[in-house]
Structure 1
Amino acid sequence: MLTVLDHLPDALLDLDAHQLYDRLSGPTLIHLSGRRDPALFVSVLLHGNEVTGWQAIQRLLSRYTQRELPRSLSLFIGNVQAASQGQRRLDGQPDYNRIWGPGSTPEHAMAQAVIQQMQQRGVFASIDIHNNTGTNPHYACVNHLDAPSLHLAGLFGRTVLYFTKPEGVQSMAFGHFCPAVTLECGKPDHPHGTQHAYEFLEACLHLSGIPQRPVLSQDIDLFHSVAIVKIPDQVSFSFGDAETLQSNGGSQAHICFPPDLDHLNFQEIPPHTRIGWTNNGFHLDVQNEQGQDVADRFFYAQDGEIRTAVPLMPGMLTLNSRIIRQDCLCYLMERYPWVS
């Protein structure tokens, strides 16, 4: 499934994300030489509807068409087939940001080929660029708490999220052999997300090294993802209010959320905050990092309302029903108790 190139195909930078499938036909790894080695690894379009990474690469590489890159760059362009249809992934495809661990699909084998090639070549740092579908601030994610990864994340912004679930993500795999971060750059139609990602990539290309010293706790706001919230397949949901529960197949939805639910992202909300309404008890699936059911720890249902049981901070809440079904409703986060 993998095409490997040592040059940019002609006029590739002129193409929008939805046009790449016509030129590349599948996942592509492109090695570009620069003044310094090893290369900076950048992955884009692991989710086909998250186009900010590709737009940032277009802006970055357009600056270097007639001059040498400050550092070698290895660019992985992921799910161009889904990008051609503006979808996170197509039906029948695995999630391209869940294939970087053990698995038996052709996509897992392709990801292992990328990992093996980059381990052999050496990697300065790994950057995976994503978007959100809900209202979120820009933030960086790490899967390993090594100092270089935290320094790299802090270069993007103060807000840093540490998570170990879900497994199989690109940054987790690369974090075993180089500093690795995931950038969350807001919604894909926001130009400042592209600008932020571009400026970060430009800065990384000019780094001679990444500090090894510990990151000071006052320099970043570090959060830990402690649980993932999903809606079971058999549970219907809608967005509205208690009085105007939207119908689903002629009957009321099991759960209804406020139409501005995603405005709670990265807000530290107190106990007993209402986040929705339920017609027939409680139907959210909440699992911690060990895969245990912890719904009762975080939420309760009372008088037809779903409320928070403890102080918590949600992240990546979305109003996109397809994304909720393909991935999750949100993650729950807590401040990470760390000592620098």
Structure 2
Amino acid sequence: MNPELRILHAVPPALLAASSDALLELLGGPTLIHLEGERQDRLFVSTLLHGNEDTGWLAIRKLLAKYAAVRLPRSLTIFIGNVEAARWRLRRLDHQPDYNRIWPGTSNPELPESALMRAVVNEMEGCPLFASVDIHNNTGTNPHYACITWLEDANYYLATLFSRTVVYFRQPLGTQTSAFAARCPAVALECGKPGSIGSVEHALQFLEACLHLQAFPARLFPKHDIDLFHTVATVKVCEHTTFGFGQGPGVLKFDPALDQLNFRELKPGTSFGLIDGHASLGLRATNGHGQDVTEQYFARRDNLLVTKRFLMPAMLTCDAKIIRQDCLCYLMERKAC
């Protein structure tokens, strides 16, 4: 079905006890909720752009329950995204695009879903914005970290309210964070795996801080307060390459503990797994300009798939469906603030 944007100006009481898989029935589709608070510069928060990532919704639900009978410290707009996929606790359904790759600025073809995201951005045009926050989980073992698309002090201050580990990225295009970054400080939060201990509380604490913060400091951001990384490449398994983990079937046999390499600075020669027979690498790494840079980062050594240079991966996952729908991982390098 083609998604249509619903706009509410109050919280339906049933939402305060609803799990993410019940939101489609309660809301009927992607929904904006505008709520008024003491400060008029508004916090914009999106959740469930990926339907299997429910930490953001659980944190928002707790926040709404707390302020159900009390005026918010700051005006708040909540965008609840892919409730159709959330019904089945999937990142996206097979007929859908990725809801975090189709915001204004995307290179993807025009779709009904991209018109939906443009409608969200247009709806927020008339609102004074304090900050934009997009809350996510991931499927591999990763620390909690924040992502930004603009290198500015206000973005650093916003990101480090969540974590001193911050990733600067320009690819992929069409993300919520990049769509709002020109208008206000904008950040995406990566809250570990869904259901991980402390993830909901961490996201909730961050949202509370954003609601109560009067303004971002005017002074220069202290560089020693941040570990900043820059995404330099996206790694995908080639479309026709079969793969698995351990000794299962597939041309590529990734290490079953591959996601344990996330946010570790890897030396050249680190193995990602085995390559069966005389097959090629089976991976494709592209830089921020879409150029193929695979040979800069990976090589075949006998039957091993190994790294060629010092690098740090993020979002390595052992979930084959996520790898097909998104990517194997991102590669990062340290960056000066």
Within the candidate set 160, 178, 192, 2:184 is matched to 178
Matches within 5 A, 1:192-207: 192-207=198-213
Instruction: Give the equivalent residue in structure 1 for 2:44.
Output: 41
Aligned alpha-carbon RMSD (Å): 0.9
Tell me, which stretches of 5 or more residues in structure 2 are unaligned?
none
Question: What secondary structure does 2:40 align onto?
Answer: strand
Question: What secondary structure does 2:219 align onto?
Answer: coil
Instruction: Give the equivalent residue in structure 1 for 2:159.
Output: 153
Question: Structure 1 stretches (4+) deviating beyond 6 angstroms?
Answer: none
Amino acid at match of 2:36: S
User: Is the counterpart of residue 89 in structure 1 residue 92 in structure 2?
Assistant: yes
Amino acid at match of 1:233: E
Instruction: Give the equivalent residue in structure 2 for 1:5.
Output: 8
Instruction: Give the equivalent residue in structure 2 for 1:256.
Output: 253
How big is the shift at 1:77?
0.2
Amino acid at match of 2:25: D
Deviations 1:151-176 (A, max 9, x none): 10011111000000000000000001
Q: Which moved more, 1:73-82 or 1:211-220?
A: 211-220
Instruction: Give the equivalent residue in structure 1 for 2:17.
Output: 14
Amino acid at match of 1:27: P
Distance 2:218 2:245 in 1: 46
Tell me, which stretches of 5 or more residues in structure 1 are unaligned?
248-252
Instruction: Give the equivalent residue in structure 2 for 1:335.
Output: 334
Amino acid at match of 2:272: I
Matches within 5 A, 1:101-250: 101=104, 102=106, 103-240=109-246, 245-247=247-249
Distance 2:216 2:67 in 1: 23
Distance 1:56 1:295 in 2: 39
User: Is the counterpart of residue 24 in structure 1 residue 27 in structure 2?
Assistant: yes
Distance 1:72 1:195 in 2: 21
Amino acid at match of 1:110: L
Instruction: Give the equivalent residue in structure 2 for 1:317.
Output: 316
Deviations 1:118-175 (A, max 9, x none): 1211211000000010000000000011111111001111100000000000000000
How big is the shift at 1:214?
2.6
1:281 and 1:304 in contact (8 A); partners too = no
User: Is the counterpart of residue 278 in structure 1 residue 284 in structure 2?
Assistant: no
Deviations 1:219-256 (A, max 9, x none): 1000000000000110011101xxxx312xxxxx1101
How big is the shift at 1:28?
0.2
Instruction: Give the equivalent residue in structure 1 for 2:83.
Output: 80
Q: Which moved more, 1:207-216 or 1:221-230?
A: 207-216
Q: Which moved more, 1:329-338 or 1:162-171?
A: 329-338
How big is the shift at 1:216?
2.1
Distance 1:82 1:212 in 2: 41
Distance 2:153 2:244 in 1: 42
1:29 and 1:75 in contact (8 A); partners too = yes
Distance 2:9 2:62 in 1: 19
Amino acid at match of 1:151: Y
Deviations 1:179-207 (A, max 9, x none): 00000000001131111000000111001
Instruction: Give the equivalent residue in structure 2 for 1:250.
Output: none
Instruction: Give the equivalent residue in structure 2 for 1:54.
Output: 57
Distance 2:159 2:251 in 1: 39
Provide the TM-score with structure 1 as the length reference. Answer: 0.95
How big is the shift at 1:38?
1.6
Within the candidate set 239, 244, 264, 1:267 is matched to 264
How big is the shift at 1:275?
1.3
How big is the shift at 1:215?
1.7
Question: What secondary structure does 1:229 align onto?
Answer: strand
How big is the shift at 1:53?
0.2
How big is the shift at 1:95?
0.6
Question: What secondary structure does 2:32 align onto?
Answer: strand
Distance 2:195 2:43 in 1: 26
User: Is the counterpart of residue 289 in structure 1 residue 316 in structure 2?
Assistant: no
Question: What secondary structure does 1:199 align onto?
Answer: helix
Distance 1:255 1:136 in 2: 23
1:6 and 1:30 in contact (8 A); partners too = yes
Distance 1:191 1:116 in 2: 36
How many residue pairs get matched? Answer: 329
Provide the TM-score with structure 2 as the length reference. Answer: 0.96
